[in-house]
Amino acid sequence: MSVEPPPRPANYSYSREERYEKSVGGGTSDHEKYAAGFAAVAIASAALAVPLVVQPQSTAEFLLGAAALPTNIEQDRLLGLFAGGLLSATAAAWALKGDAERHELDLNTSENLQLGLIGFAASNLAANLAHVNDLTPNGLAAGAATAAISLAVPAARLLVSGSGRRKVGDRIKGAFDSLGRVFDLSKGGFKLTSALYALLVPATVVAGTAFTASPAASLEGTLGYVLKGADSVYLWRQIGGALLTISPAILLTLKEKADNDELGETQPRILNAGVLLAGVVQLAALGPLAADGGGGRYLPLLLANAVATTAAGLAGLTSSNTAKKLMVHARESTDLGGGAPGLLRCPTTDENGYRFVKLDNGLQVLLVHDPKTDKAAVACDVRVGSLSDPDDLPGLAHFLEHMLFYSSEKYPVEDEYRFAQFFICPLISRDGVDREAHAVDSEHGKNLNSDAWKALQLWKHTANPDHPFSRFATGNLETLLDGPARKNVEVHTRLKEFYEKHYCSQLMRAVIIGRESLDDLQALASSAFGPVPCRGLRAPSFSPEATPRAGLLMKAVPERSGHTLELQWRVEPELKHYDAAPCQYFSHLLGDEGEGSLFALLKARGWATDLCAGESGTSFSAASIFRVRIGLTDAGQEHVPELRFDFAEKMAPSSYATTLAGAMQVYGRHDLLLAIHHVPQRYDPELLDTVLSTLCPSEARVLWASSSFQVPTDCPLKEPWYGTAHSAGPLPAEWLTHWEAAWRGEGAALGDKDGHRFCGMHLPPPNPYIPSRFDLIKESSSSPAKIHATPLYTLWHRPETGFKVPKTAIYLHLRMPEAYLTPRAAVSTQLISRLLTDKLSEVAYPAELAGLHYGVRATTSGMLLSFWGHSHTLPRLVQTVLDSLLEFEVLPDRFELAKEHQAKDYANMRHEQPYQHGLYLLSVGLEARRWHVRDYEAVLPGVMGDSLRAFQTAMLGTVRIDALIAGNVPAADARALLQALEARLLAGRCSPLPASQRTEARVVALPSPMRAVHAVPGPNPANDNSAVVVAFQAGRDDVRRNALVDLVGHLGKREAFHTLRTVEQLGYITHLSAFWTLTVSNILVLIQSSAHSARYLQSRIDAFLPKLADSLRGMPAEEYAAHVEELAKAKLEKPKRLRDAVNTDWSEIDDGTLRFPRKELEAAAVRSITQEELVAFFEARESRGYLRVLSFWLLDTVVNPRTRRSYSVLVEGNVKEPAPEAAGSKASAAPPTADEVLVSDQHSFKRGQALYASFL
C-alpha cells in the first residue's frame, strides 16, 4: 500500500474533502437519521398518492374543497396522473432510505435521486403557494408538510450536514454529467432497458416543461378540453413538476445501473417498481380516453410515454432477475474478435465461471469458479494509498498496511494470518507500533541503493510541492517514530484514525478464485467479507497537476555504472480510454527494435544499448506519464545533446486475483478481462492525435543519469530521502531548438548530415511471424519420452495439448567443454551470447511482437538456447537463431560495445543487495565449476575481437546437445528439426563430444561436522546493510531426503518469520526454505539487516534452531498433519500454463535426474513422514549409529553441532552499533565459534573437499 492504486473512472472521482465520512461524533447515527428521514418522506408521499387512486372524489374534496365538487372524469384523470408523480417520489425516497442504511448516500446515483426529490418538493411548494386561495386548509397543510419534509431531508444531507456537504455547483454539475451520458448506449454492449430509460428522460423533461410553462395549451392539446378552473391548473402543474424533476432523476439512476449490470440490486428494484406503478396509473388515467377516441393531438405522445414507462419498469424488474442468472455463466462463448457480447468477454479457452456480487455492505466481489484449479486465491484491493498520507506523517499508509497484517481481534496472536479479518477488526495494537516501524525502516533501508527507487524519488522531489505525489511515501523511523515523538504526536492513535477514515467496504474490490461452485463462493464471500465495516466513504481523487514542470532537465549520479536518458510527458490516462489504447500505438512504434526503428538507428550509431517506451499510471487520478527510456553507451553519453527525436512521424491464481481486484476499481465489468490484458477494441484517430500533440519537445521532462557525472560539479544538489546527487534546471535552449525543428519537419533528424528527415527510419514491414494456423495435434502425454539419440544429440519429446493452446517450447543445451574451461573461456562465451542477441535484435523483434520468444544464455556447460511460442511460426525463429550462431561474425564496433556492456555488468554486481551477493558467493563456494566475477573482470580486458571468432570455432568443435521439444508438435517434426541441426553442425566440422569429455555438475560435499564461514565486506561501501546466508547441506537428490528438506522448510518458514523478523526485528528480509545447489538439497536461512552485523545475525540463527525444534516437538498432532497435507497438495498442484509444465520437465533433463513423476513421488514421501520421526531427530543427539537412518540424519545435521554441515556467507555492511541480545541488554556480536572453518579463498577451499557424484 505504499503505492496508490489506480484511479476509478471519471464518474467515480471525488474531491479529497469528501473522503471522511465517519467523524468522531457522527458516523452510523447520521445514516440511521437519514434513513428515518427518507422513510418519512416515502410514507408522506404514499399517504397522498394512494387516496388519489383509491378515493379520488373524497381526496379532491379534502384538497380542493367545494371547487372540486362534483369531480368529473377529466379531473379524475388529473388526480390519477398527480398520483403517478407522488408514487415516483415514494419509490425514490424508499430507495434513498436503503442507500442511507447501506451508507451509499454519497454515490452519484444516490445524489441524483436526492436532487430530483429536492426539485419535486420545490415544485410542489411553488404550486401550493401559487394556489393558496384555491386549496382547503387541510389541503394546504398536507401539501406543505409533504413538500417540506421531502425538501428538508435531502437538502440537509446535500447542503447542510458535515458528512454530506459539498459545493452545490459540483453536485448539479454531476447531475448534468449524468444527463450528458444518457444516450451513451455502448457501455457493456447494447441493453434494451438502458435504451428505454435513455428515451424516457428527454420525453419526461419536455412534457414536464410544457405542462408547467404553458398549462392551458398543453392540457387542451393533451386531454382535449379547455382548462376549466384553478383546480385543474394546480393539478396539471403538479404533474408537470414531477415529470420535470423526480422522473428524470429516477430514470438517470436506472440508466447507470443498467449500464453496470446492477439492476438486481435493492435500489434499482425499488425504483423500477415505482416506475412500473407510475406507468400503470398513467395508463389507467389515459387509456379509456384514448379508447373512446377523445383527447387532443398530443394524447398519443403522452400515452406512448405511459406505455414506455410501464415497459421500462417491467423490463427493469425482469432484467434484474435474468442478469442474476446470466452472471453464473457470465462469459462469452466466442473469441475476442467478435460475437455477441456477454456480461464478461472471455477467450474461448477460458472455462471459468464468473459472477459479480455486491454484498450488503457495498463491497463488490468477483467470484471465479475454476473447476481445474489446485489452489484457491483471494485478493482485496483497497482504494487508498500513500497519496492519502497526512502531511506530518509520511509513510503512514504503508505503516498501516504492516499493522493490519500484525493481528486482529478474532486472531490476536501475532502473524496469525486470516485475510478478511485485516479489514474487519484489526487490533492495531500499541505494542506492535515500535516493531513494525522498524520493519518499515528496514524495508526502506534495502531500497536506499536502488537506482529505480532513487529515480522515482527524484521525480517526486521535483514534482508540484503542493501535490501529495511529491511526498516521501515509504516511511522510516524518522517520519514514523522519532520525528512524531519530538512533536508529541501519538502515532498509534493516528494509525487508528487513518484506518477509520480510509478503510471502508465501499472502497474495496475483492476477487475469490476456487473450484467450488459459484453459489458456494458467494456464501464464502458473504461470510468472510460481509462484516467489513461500511462507513459510506468516497474514493479519493487528486489533481493531475503533480508532475514536474515541463521543460525540466535533471542530471543524477546513479549507484550502478552506466548511463540512461529518460524522457517523460504527461498524457491522458490510458485507463480512461482502455478500449482504444492510444498510447499503445506509440509505445509499439517508439519501442520497436526492428529494422528501420528508432532503436535500430541509435544502435547503428553505437549510442544505445536498449530502449523502451510506454505509458504508465502515476497512481493518482486524471494523470499519467508516457516514458521513453534509453540505455546509453559511453559514446551515446557524449552525444546526448545531439539526439533529435521526430515523434510526429512515429506512430497464478494469486496473481490473477490480485490483478482482477485492482482492475475492478477502474474498468467496467463487460471488458474487465480485455482491459487487464490491454486488448484494444476500437480505433480512435482523434485520441491518437491528442496523445501525439502532447509528445512535443517543450512538454518533455528529462532525467539524465550517468556514473560519469561529477559531484558537486555536475550534480551539486542532494535529494533528502535517498541522498541522490543531482541537479535540476530548464532544458538547454539549443536542445529545444533542435528538437522543435525536427518536430516541425525542419532540418536534419537524429544526426543526419544530409538533411534527410527520416534517416533510414520507416514503419515496420508486415510481420512474417504472425501465425495463421491454430490447429491442435491429437496426441498428448503427461511426461517426456526419449524418442531419438545419436552421438551428437539426445532428443526428448512431449506432445501436450491439454492446455488447449497451439504453442510449443524448445530447449537446446549445447554442452561444449571449451565454453567454461577457464575464466577467459567463460567470458568469451558470455560475449558470444551477448553479440548473438545483439545481432538478432532487429530480426527477432517482430517475432516477439507475434508472441514468439527466444533466449541465448551462457552456462557452466556451454550455451542454452530456448524458444517458446506459436507452433506454426516458431520453427522459422529457431532457424534464424541457429543460422546466426553457426554463421557468427565479430563486427569490431559491436564487439567493443558488447565488451563495454559486459564490464559494466560485472561492476554492477557490487550494487546488488547484500543478501543477493551472499547467495552468489554461496554458489561460488559450493559449485565445483564456478568462477568468481573478479576472475572475469581480470581477463576481460585481454579478450580481443580477432580471437573471439577463433574461440567460437573451437567451442563448436565438439558438442553434445540435450534437447526437449514439447507442446503442440508431433514427434516427426521434432525429429526433423534436430536432424537438420545435426546436419548443419557436422557440415561445419563439428564432432560429437566423447563421453569421457562430457561436462559434469558437481557440488562440494561438506564433511560432518563442518561449519564453514566465508566472511567478506559488503561490495558496495555506500550500502549499510549486512546479510548472512546459511546453507545446511542435506545431500544429493533423493526422494525421501528431498521430502524431509521441504517439510522442514515448510514448517520452519513461518516460525522463522515470526521469531527473527516480527519478534526480534532483525531485518525486513528474513527467509527460511528448502534450497538447491545444482542437485544437492539444503535448508537455507538468510537475513538482511540495516541495524545489525552479519556475525550477530548468524548468532541469532544459531539461537533460533533449538526454538524451531521445540516448536516442532510441541506442535499438536492435528496441526502437524494439516501442514503435511498442505505441503503434499502444494507439490501436486497442476501447472497453469504449458510453459510451466515444460520447464519442470526440462529441469529433470538438464540436471540429469530424470524423475519425471517427481511431484507425485515426493508428495507420497511427505505424507509418510510422521511427527514422531521428526521429533526423534531433534532428540537423537548422541547416537551416531542411529543417525545413519536417512530420515533422521538430515534434521540432526541442522541442529546438532557435532554432526551438522553448513556453509555460511557473512556480508558485512558498515560498522553497526552493538546489537541487542534477546533479553534486551546491549552486547557486541558473538565472536567466531571454535568449530568454525574460516574460508578466505573459496577456490582453495573447494580443492580440498570431496564432491558429490554428478547425474550427468
- Residue 855 pLDDT greater than 70, yes or no: yes
- Each residue's pLDDT tens digit, 267-309: 888 888 888 888 888 888 888 877 777 777 888 888 888 888 8
- Residue 534 pLDDT greater than 50, yes or no: yes
- Each residue's pLDDT tens digit, 565-613: 999 888 888 877 877 888 888 888 888 888 888 888 888 888 888 888 8
**CA 213, chain centre distance (Å):** 54
Residue 1160 · residue 1117 · CB < 8 Å = no
Answer whether 552-729 and 1009-1251 agree in fold.
yes
- Residue 1195 pLDDT greater than 70, yes or no: no
- Residue 1244 pLDDT greater than 90, yes or no: yes
Using N-to-C axis directions, what is the helix angle for 108-130 and 73-101, rounded to 10°?
A: 140
Of 21, 104, 256, 401, the catalytic one is 401
- Residue 189 pLDDT greater than 90, yes or no: no
Of 4, 262, 332, 436, the catalytic one is 436
- Each residue's pLDDT tens digit, 937-966: 999 999 999 899 999 999 999 999 999 999
At 178, the pLDDT band (50, 70, 90 cuts) reads: low
Say which amino acid occupies 1080: V
Q: How is residue 1063 annotated by DSSP?
A: I
- Residue 884 pLDDT greater than 50, yes or no: yes
Looking at the chain, the whole-number percentage of residues with pLDDT higher than 90 is: 33
At 786, the pLDDT band (50, 70, 90 cuts) reads: very high
- Each residue's pLDDT tens digit, 146-164: 888 888 888 887 765 433 4
DSSP symbols for 1160-1187: HHHHHHHHH--HHHHHHHHH--S-TTGG
- Each residue's pLDDT tens digit, 432-482: 888 888 889 888 988 888 888 999 898 888 888 888 888 899 999 999 999
- Each residue's pLDDT tens digit, 924-934: 999 999 999 99
- Residue 849 pLDDT greater than 70, yes or no: yes
- Residue 498 pLDDT greater than 60, yes or no: yes
Q: How is residue 260 annotated by DSSP?
A: T
Residue 162 is predicted with a pLDDT of: 39
Please report, for residues 634, 640, 976, the alpha-carbon distance to residue 725 in angstroms, rounded to integers and kept in the order given.
Answer: 20, 20, 58
- Residue 921 pLDDT greater than 90, yes or no: yes
H or E element in which residue 637 lies:
helix 634-638
Q: How many residues does the chain have?
A: 1256
Q: Report the DSSP beta bridge partners of residue 965.
A: 797, 810
Question: Which of 1051, 1173, 1029, 1197 is closest to 1115 using CA atoms?
Answer: 1051
How far is Cα 600 from Cα 608, in angstroms, rounded to an integer? 9
Please report, for residues 22, 96, 263, the alpha-carbon distance to residue 106 in angstroms, rounded to integers and kept in the order given.
Answer: 12, 11, 19
Say which amino acid occupies 49: A
Please report, for residues 167, 1049, 1050, 1120, 1195, the alpha-carbon distance to residue 1117 in angstroms, rounded to integers and kept in the order given.
Answer: 63, 18, 16, 5, 19
Say which amino acid occupies 505: S
Class of the 1009-1251 domain? alpha beta
Residue where the block lists cell 545483439: 838
Residue 649 is predicted with a pLDDT of: 28
Residue 745 is predicted with a pLDDT of: 61
Residue where the block lists cell 486488448: 679
At 759, the pLDDT band (50, 70, 90 cuts) reads: low
- Each residue's pLDDT tens digit, 336-372: 233 333 457 776 667 788 888 999 888 999 999 988 8
- Residue 1 pLDDT greater than 80, yes or no: no
Q: Report the DSSP beta bridge partners of residue 1207.
A: 1012, 1031
Question: Which of 1033, 1046, 994 is closest to 1163 using CA atoms?
Answer: 1046
Average pLDDT over residues 1060-1086: 92
Average pLDDT over residues 106-126: 83
H or E element in which residue 1012 lies:
strand 1010-1017
Residue 169 is predicted with a pLDDT of: 52
Q: How is residue 746 annotated by DSSP?
A: -
- Residue 333 pLDDT greater than 60, yes or no: no
Residue where the block lists cell 415514494: 90
Burial (CB < 10 A; 0-12, 13-18, 19+), residue 900, is middle
- b/e map of 219-252 (b: 16 or more CB within 10 Å)? bbbbbbeebeebbbbbbbbbbbbbbbbbbbbbbb
Q: Which stretch, 11-15, 484-488, 1207-1211, has highest mean pLDDT?
A: 484-488
DSSP-based three-state secondary structure for 92 = helix
Please indicate whether residue 401 is annotated as part of the active site: yes
Residue 845 · residue 853 · CB < 8 Å = no
DSSP-based three-state secondary structure for 1028 = strand
Fold of 552-729: Cytochrome Bc1 Complex; Chain A, domain 1 (3.30.830)
Class of the 785-997 domain? alpha beta
- Each residue's pLDDT tens digit, 671-692: 777 777 777 777 788 888 888 8
Average pLDDT, the chain: 81
Query: In degrees rounded to 5, what are phi and psi of residue 1163?
Result: -65, -40
At 644, the pLDDT band (50, 70, 90 cuts) reads: very low
At 69, the pLDDT band (50, 70, 90 cuts) reads: very low
For the domain 385-502, what is the CATH code?
3.30.830.10
Strands 1080-1089 and 862-870, by their bridges, are unpaired
- Residue 557 pLDDT greater than 50, yes or no: yes
Q: Which residues contact 582 (CB under 8 A, 6 or more apart)?
A: 574, 684, 687, 688, 690, 691
Q: What angle do CA 487, 493, 495 make, to 5 degrees?
A: 100
Give the least confident one: 219-223, 508-512, 1018-1022.
Answer: 219-223
Q: Which stretch, 320-334, 509-523, 1162-1176, has highest mean pLDDT?
A: 509-523
pTM for the full model?
A: 0.67
Give the least confident one: 380-394, 587-601, 983-997.
Answer: 587-601
Sorted by where each begins, the domain ranges of the chain are 28-329, 385-502, 552-729, 785-997, 1009-1251
- Residue 328 pLDDT greater than 70, yes or no: no
Looking at the chain, the whole-number percentage of residues with pLDDT higher than 70 is: 82
Neighbours of 1238 (CB within 10 A): 11
Residue 1001 is predicted with a pLDDT of: 92
Residue 477 is predicted with a pLDDT of: 92
At 1188, the pLDDT band (50, 70, 90 cuts) reads: very low
Say which amino acid occupies 243: L
Question: Which of 33, 120, 111, 86 is closest to 267 using CA atoms?
Answer: 111
Q: Which three cell numbers stand for residue 447?
A: 531500497
Residue 716 is predicted with a pLDDT of: 93
Question: Which of 721, 731, 411, 728 is closest to 555 using CA atoms?
Answer: 728
